[in-house]
Structure 1
Amino acid sequence: MRAGMLRLVPVILFLAACGGAAGTSGSASAGAAPAAARGPSPEELAAIARGDSLFNGGGCQRCHGQKGVGAQNGPSLVAGPWLHVDGSKAQIAALITRGVPREEFKNSERPFAMRPRGGPMNLTDAQVQDLAAYVVSISRAKSAR
């Protein structure tokens, strides 16, 4: 878990430097800043760290590459358009839960289906939420640069 938290430090520092999530503006009046401008809550940071450990220590990175940069068997999760969802945490969690049958792939050259709940990982509902939080965090951090 400690290694997962250490890998999360650049994301936390980036979010703090940018005032929170990508796309927020500094036009809100003092004392009434939108929640997104305040950055992730401690609970969300903990979920992202757990998701990082699941993603990079489990089967996800085999297809999507370390840190989600993409690989031969899976698309990048940090760059480019979303292929099967809109990029929201709820839709990412739903996709992880149900998987993607090979017949639904947008790129027919990818050899393996995305199995539901991480296949052999058999992720719990809580782990799916943690993993979705991590994927959202890496996609937003990349797109805000």
Structure 2
Amino acid sequence: MLRRALSLFALATVVAGIGACHLGRTSRPAQVTPVNVALGDSLFNNGNCQRCHGKGGVGAQNAPALDGKKWLQLKTGSYDEIVHLITVGVPAADIKDKSHRFAMRGRGGNMNLTDAQVQAVAAYVWTLTHK
């Protein structure tokens, strides 16, 4: 009897653990492909993005970290929100942490990213928050 109860308890624990792991996962958006992430990494870390957000999006004086621990300008940090923010930018008046001094210009400012490049940078940023 005790053996059966322990077996049932162990099974229930495993099932609950699997369910909890599944609930904590965010499905990978279709646009977050290895090719897009690699292109986004290159654009981010060799372009204007890293000047303010730091190499790898670790944050710097002029812009926040992009590790998803605390989103300043986004509600959820979803891929679509990231695409929108990169596309339109953040006017200086809308910056929530005033220690970050500069507006974020849309489409990488003078980089003038195409839609495909915006999506690639968004894919890279999304991976920073979903490791």
One of 57, 74, 79 as aligned partner of 1:68: 57
Q: Structure 1 regions of 5+ residues with no counterpart?
A: 1-24, 28-33
Match status 1:121 vs 2:120: no
Q: How far did residue 109 of structure 1 move?
A: 2.2
* Alpha-carbon contact 2:64-2:100 (below 8 Å) kept: no
Q: 1:131 aligns with which of 105, 121, 127?
A: 121
Identity of aligned residues (%): 51
Structure 2 unpaired stretches of 5+ = 1-16, 20-24
TM-score (normalizing by structure 1) = 0.68
Per the alignment, residue 11 of structure 1 pairs with none
Q: How do residues 1-145 of structure 1 correspond to structure 2 at under 5 angstroms?
A: 26-27=18-19, 36=27, 44-85=33-74, 86-141=76-131
User: Are 2:29 and 2:79, in contact at CA under 8 Å, matched by a contact in 1?
Assistant: no
Moved over 3 A (4+): none
Q: Tell me the matched-pair count.
A: 110
TM-score (norm 2): 0.75
Which deviates more from structure 2 when the two are superposed, residues 78-87 or residues 102-111?
A: 78-87
State the 1:26 CA deviation.
4.0
